[in-house]
């Protein structure tokens, strides 16, 4: 799973074709792979940081495989929802590079706090993609131990998890786990809509004041359900960091290489005790907010088409093809693996049992409650009084 | 036995000190809790002795206090959060109700949030608005939270330590108007043998009417019972101590003996703790009741201006008036 480090040894690694300071188009956007699949060797950020990646061919192919698998599993979940097997699904379509790039930038000891759309990050943490589907199928409400997977439960209340991430990062610092190469860092995911939440702004204040080892990773996918970015902010989101006293940077969120480089750099700064930073991954939600949404009511087709041309997977494929890092057999094999994993996911979702009704009384309190014991007993007697009830 | 006379506030302070000594994972966080020792001095001297990593002065944002405490709890800490005044807890309401209360449940028991949220609550100190409220019903209504209130220095000393040691998230309501009242505190009794946290207790035995109260109103009811004794009425006073879950076994036993019950709290009556208690007593003790369960509460107004709060708050006379009405039924 581990990928090459920026600036690591170059033996067996492929030199990128060119180097330049500014990036295509928007000078405020860190980009290492253009929409056409051209590599930019390195980009110097506004603070003088040089962003580059130095992957082996195998690692480049690995990132491509991640992107394809994550998109395929996401499409399968959308299909499952359309067939009534999931209650709802929040698709990540279009945001694969932002999630794979940042997810692969995490080191084993790092902790992630997702929203409800970080299926790609979850996959890159090596977690079985079935894990969050219980939530969307309605058979549980998360149900995993954040510390076991170094990946918090999904958080649906917008922005609440950024405070949890901040507190966790304060704990990392209090434990003395920063300041070295193997120090711990924390990443908090949220979206453009969440930046309007009080909790997110409070998290910025706290993380700045306590110099917490934390990366705020904002996937700006341009819409909060129907509301465009202009309804959340009048300055670019990454610039808000300056007011809170830490660095902010905007990266091409459809560029897996740039996202990796920027996130890895920010995480390493955090683990070395240099405090928080904000990354704005500039991307686009190609699908609906969730399966309950109809994006044709609030955005026009030409806008979607323009972003289609910046597709994160197409540009990586073009790069691999052009540089002869991968051949047709490889692309076929990846598609086949994605198909197999999607089928496997589908079969396991269909096999998920409904919980026994009486289990709704479980785990309300670590130490239990006599009131709940009484209600559980009453409910059980009532429930079992139905002759032939199918439980 | 090291028994000392302490104020309720000082008993909390000593209890917090013990908790910090006994478990290195305990951290205290809140506004002004460090150098100042809290606006009521409940954390006085603790930052000086345990350092600013254990007793943390936070930025002024209540949601941030509770939200970061959730993260610290996930990391393995046991945060004790101070909300400066009852009326300032509402910005943290979402974090408390949607996050703190539900984490254990959502994780199917795999994650604990062993957090204590200390809130000085109630009126009677002549304060400006937002400083005298009684928000207990909001929290007692929320599954996943436990809610307790102490009424004496001894209970303050023991209950705060029990709450911190518990893996349940606990809203700990401190009767701010009683912070300065003194009582005997046994500082050496082992916690393991202390009276349980989630248990009600008879504060004064009696036989004619059962008075039910918690926090600041326990003292009011005890005073009422003393006054009633001069009139030949023998009132039993029960300190409920735990509001969620309620511990009503001792209440039912009492009401079956007395046949009469009066619930007293500062919070507004409509849908307050008294409503639930009255309903439960009626369900369990219907054939023992000589009169309906009566309530003496604050009114269903916003907390009024300080110069009229004595008329808003239940006092000895209003409690005795309810006792008279119970007998007059």
pLDDT of residue A11: 43
Residue B307 has pLDDT above 80, yes or no: yes
Kindly report whether the global pTM for this prediction surpasses the value 0.90: yes
B73 contacts on A by Cβ (under 8 Å): 167
Whether residue A290 contacts residue A90, with contact meaning beta carbons closer than 8 Å, is answered with yes
- pLDDT tens for each residue of A304-341: 999 999 999 999 999 999 999 999 999 999 999 999 99
A152 contacts on B by Cβ (under 8 Å): 74
Q: Which of A6-20, B162-176, B301-315 has the lowest mean pLDDT?
A: A6-20
**Domain containing residue B221: CATH number:** 3.40.50.920
Residue whose C-alpha is closest to residue A57's, from A12, A88, A104: A12
User: Are B48 and B123 contained in the same domain?
Assistant: yes
pLDDT of residue A164: 98
The whole-number average pLDDT for the span B110-134 is 98
User: Are B146 and B224 contained in the same domain?
Assistant: no
Tokens linked to A272: 């070395």
pLDDT of residue B55: 98
Boundary of a domain, candidates B192, B226, B241: B192
> B 127-156 residues with CB below 8 A of A?
143-144, 146
**CB of A124 less than 8 A from some CB of B:** no
Residue A23 has pLDDT above 50, yes or no: no
User: Are B150 and B234 contained in the same domain?
Assistant: no
Residue A260 has pLDDT above 80, yes or no: yes
Residue A12 has pLDDT above 60, yes or no: no
Tokens linked to B150: 């102490």
Q: Is the peptide bond before B59 cis (omega within 30 degrees of 0)?
A: no
**CB of A139 less than 8 A from some CB of B:** no
CATH number of A29-350: 3.40.50.970
> B 159-218 residues with CB below 8 A of A?
166-168
Place of tokens 């940077």: A249
The whole-number average pLDDT for the span A157-164 is 98
pLDDT of residue B93: 98
Residue B191 has pLDDT above 80, yes or no: yes
User: Are B126 and B22 contained in the same domain?
Assistant: yes
Contact A163 B53 (CB under 8 A): no
pLDDT of residue A22: 43
The whole-number average pLDDT for the span B164-192 is 97
Whether residue A200 contacts residue A172, with contact meaning beta carbons closer than 8 Å, is answered with no
Per DSSP, what are the bridge partners of residue A33? A39
ipTM of the complex: 0.97
Indicate the pLDDT class of residue A46, thresholds 50, 70 and 90.
Answer: confident
Q: Other C-beta atoms within 10 Å of B154: how many?
A: 21
- Collapse the DSSP code of B264 into the 3-class scheme (helix H, G, I; strand E, B; otherwise coil) and give the result: strand
A172 contacts on B by Cβ (under 8 Å): 75
User: Are B188 and B303 contained in the same domain?
Assistant: no
Whether residue A165 contacts residue A173, with contact meaning beta carbons closer than 8 Å, is answered with no
What's the whole-number average pLDDT of chain B? Answer: 98
Give me the DSSP letters along B167-218: SS-EEEEEEGGGTT-EEEEESSS-GGGSPPTT--EEEE--SSEEEEE-THHH
pLDDT of residue A15: 54
Taking CA–CA distances from B167, the nearest residue in chain A reads A366
Cα–Cα distance for residue pair B167/A20, rounded to 1 Å: 55
**CB of B305 less than 8 A from some CB of A:** no
Boundary of a domain, candidates B152, B167, B192: B192
A298 among known catalytic residues: yes
A163 contacts on B by Cβ (under 8 Å): 63-64, 66-68, 70-71, 95
In chain B, the number of structural domains is 2
A211 contacts on B by Cβ (under 8 Å): none
Q: Which residue from A169, A174, A365 is facing B53, i.e. has the nearest CB?
A: A174
User: Are B181 and B43 contained in the same domain?
Assistant: yes
Taking CA–CA distances from A173, the nearest residue in chain B reads B53
pLDDT cut 70: percent of chain A above it: 92
CA distances from A66 to A27, A72, A99, A309, B255 (A): 28, 10, 10, 20, 67
- pLDDT tens for each residue of A322-331: 999 999 999 9
User: Are B129 and B227 contained in the same domain?
Assistant: no
Burial of A20: CB neighbours in 10 Å, binned 0-12, 13-18, 19+: exposed
pLDDT of residue A17: 54
Whether residue B46 contacts residue B16, with contact meaning beta carbons closer than 8 Å, is answered with yes
Q: Which residue from B58, B59, B168 is facing A367, i.e. has the nearest CB?
A: B168
> β-pairing, B55-57 with B26-30?
parallel
User: Are B182 and B224 contained in the same domain?
Assistant: no
User: Are B94 and B153 contained in the same domain?
Assistant: yes
Place of tokens 């910025």: A204
Contact A171 B167 (CB under 8 A): no
H or E segment at A141? none
Distance from CA of B105 to the nearest CA of A (A): 5
User: Are B183 and B224 contained in the same domain?
Assistant: no
**CB of B13 less than 8 A from some CB of A:** no
Distance from CA of A222 to the nearest CA of B (A): 26
Boundary of a domain, candidates B192, B220, B244: B192
Contact B64 A202 (CB under 8 A): yes
pLDDT cut 70: percent of chain B above it: 100
- pLDDT tens for each residue of B245-296: 999 999 999 999 999 999 999 999 999 999 999 999 999 999 999 999 999 9
pLDDT of residue B2: 86
pLDDT of residue A6: 43
pLDDT of residue B148: 98
A123 among known catalytic residues: no
- pLDDT tens for each residue of A79-114: 999 999 999 999 999 999 999 999 999 999 999 999
User: Are B166 and B291 contained in the same domain?
Assistant: no
Indicate the pLDDT class of residue A47, thresholds 50, 70 and 90.
Answer: confident
Distance from CA of A294 to the nearest CA of B (A): 28
Taking CA–CA distances from B165, the nearest residue in chain A reads A367
pLDDT of residue A27: 61
What's the whole-number average pLDDT of chain A? Answer: 93
* Rama region for A197: left / alpha / beta (φ>0; ψ in -120 to 50; rest): beta
Where are the domain boundaries for CATH 3.40.50.970 in chain A?
29-350
Contact B104 A365 (CB under 8 A): yes
How many H helices and E strands in chain A? 13, 10
Cα–Cα distance for residue pair B188/B169, rounded to 1 Å: 26
HSE (CB half, 13 Å, CA atoms) of B152? 18
The whole-number average pLDDT for the span A382-387 is 89
Domain assignment of residue B128, given as a range: 3-192
Q: What is the DSSP letter of B91?
A: G
pLDDT cut 90: percent of chain A above it: 90
Contact B106 A152 (CB under 8 A): no
Cα–Cα distance for residue pair A69/B25, rounded to 1 Å: 41
Burial of A314: CB neighbours in 10 Å, binned 0-12, 13-18, 19+: middle
Q: Which residue from B67, B75, B79 is facing A163, i.e. has the nearest CB?
A: B67
Q: Which residue from A148, A198, A365 is facing B168, i.e. has the nearest CB?
A: A365
User: Are B187 and B205 contained in the same domain?
Assistant: no
**Domain containing residue B135: CATH number:** 3.40.50.970
Contact A209 B167 (CB under 8 A): no
Give me the DSSP letters along A204-221: HHHHHHTT-SEEEEEEE-
pLDDT of residue A13: 57
């Amino acid at each position: 799973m581990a990928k090459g480090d920026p600036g690591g040894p170059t033996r067996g690694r492929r030199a990128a074709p060119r180097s330049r300071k500014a990036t295509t188009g928007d000078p405020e956007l860190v980009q290492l792979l253009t929409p056409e699949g051209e590599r930019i060797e390195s980009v110097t950020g506004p603070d003088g940081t040089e962003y580059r990646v130095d992957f082996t061919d195998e690692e480049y192919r690995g990132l491509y495989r991640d992107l394809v698998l994550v998109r395929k599993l996401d499409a399968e979940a959308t299909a499952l929802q359309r067939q009534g097997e999931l209650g709802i699904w929040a698709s990540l379509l279009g945001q694969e590079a932002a999630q794979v790039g940042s997810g692969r930038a995490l080191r084993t000891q790092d902790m992630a706090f997702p929203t409800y759309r970080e299926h790609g990050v979850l996959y890159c943490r090596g977690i079985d993609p079935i894990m969050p589907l219980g939530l969307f199928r309605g058979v549980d409400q998360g149900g995993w131990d954040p510390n076991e997977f170094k990946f918090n439960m999904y958080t649906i209340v917008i922005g609440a998890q950024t405070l949890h991430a901040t507190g966790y990062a304060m704990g990392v610092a209090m434990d003395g786990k920063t300041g070295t190469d193997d120090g711990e860092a924390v990443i908090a995911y949220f979206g453009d809509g969440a930046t309007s939440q009080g909790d997110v702004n409070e998290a910025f204040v706290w993380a700045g004041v306590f110099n917490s080892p934390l990366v705020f990773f904002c996937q700006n996918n341009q819409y909060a359900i129907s509301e465009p970015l202009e309804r959340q902010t009048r300055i670019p989101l990454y610039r808000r960091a300056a007011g809170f006293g830490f660095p902010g940077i905007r990266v091409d969120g459809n560029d897996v290489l740039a996202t990796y480089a920027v996130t890895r750099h920010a995480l390493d700064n955090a683990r070395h005790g240099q405090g928080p930073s904000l990354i704005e991954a500039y991307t686009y939600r190609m699908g609906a907010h969730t399966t309950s949404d109809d994006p044709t009511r609030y955005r026009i087709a030409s806008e979607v088409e323009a972003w289609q041309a910046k597709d994160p997977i197409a540009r990586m494929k073009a790069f691999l093809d052009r540089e002869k890092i991968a051949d047709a057999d490889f692309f076929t094999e990846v598609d086949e693996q994605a198909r197999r994993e999607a089928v496997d996911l589908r079969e396991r979702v269909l096999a998920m049992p409904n919980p026994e009704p009486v289990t709704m009384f479980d785990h309300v309190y670590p130490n239990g409650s006599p009131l709940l014991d009484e209600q559980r007993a009453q409910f059980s007697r009532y429930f079992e009084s139905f002759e032939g009830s199918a439980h | 036995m090291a028994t000392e006379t302490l104020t309720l506030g000082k008993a909390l302070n000593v209890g917090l000190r013990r908790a910090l000594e006994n478990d290195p994972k305990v951290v205290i966080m809140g506004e002004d809790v460090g150098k100042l020792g809290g606006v009521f001095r409940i954390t006085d001297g603790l930052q000086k002795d345990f350092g600013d990593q254990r007793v943390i002065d936070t930025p002024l944002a209540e949601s941030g206090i509770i939200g970061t405490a959730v993260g610290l709890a996930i990391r393995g800490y046991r945060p004790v959060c101070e909300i400066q005044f009852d009326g300032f807890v509402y910005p943290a309401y979402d974090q408390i109700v949607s996050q703190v209360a539900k984490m254990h449940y959502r994780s199917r028991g795999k994650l604990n949030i062993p957090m204590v949220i200390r809130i000085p609550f109630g009126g009677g100190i002549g304060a400006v608005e937002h400083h005298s409220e009684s928000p207990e019903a909001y929290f007692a209504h929320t599954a996943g939270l436990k809610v307790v209130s102490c009424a004496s220095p001894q209970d303050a000393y023991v209950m705060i330590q029990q709450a911190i040691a518990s893996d349940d998230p606990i809203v700990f309501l401190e009767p701010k108007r009683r912070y300065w009242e003194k009582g005997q505190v046994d500082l050496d009794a082992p916690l393991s043998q202390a009276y349980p946290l989630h248990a009600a207790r008879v504060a004064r035995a009696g036989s004619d009417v059962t008075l039910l109260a918690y926090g600041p109103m326990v003292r009011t009811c005890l005073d009422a019972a003393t006054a009633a004794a001069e009139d030949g009425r023998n009132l039993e006073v029960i300190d409920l101590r735990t509001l969620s879950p309620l511990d009503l076994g001792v209440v039912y036993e009492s009401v079956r003996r007395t046949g009469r019950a009066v619930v007293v709290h500062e919070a507004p009556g409509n849908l307050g703790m008294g409503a639930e208690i009255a309903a439960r007593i009626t369900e369990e003790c219907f054939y023992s009741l000589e009169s309906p369960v009566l309530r003496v509460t604050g009114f269903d107004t916003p907390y009024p201006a300080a110069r009229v709060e004595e008329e808003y708050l239940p006092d000895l006379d209003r409690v005795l008036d309810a006792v008279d009405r119970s007998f007059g039924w």
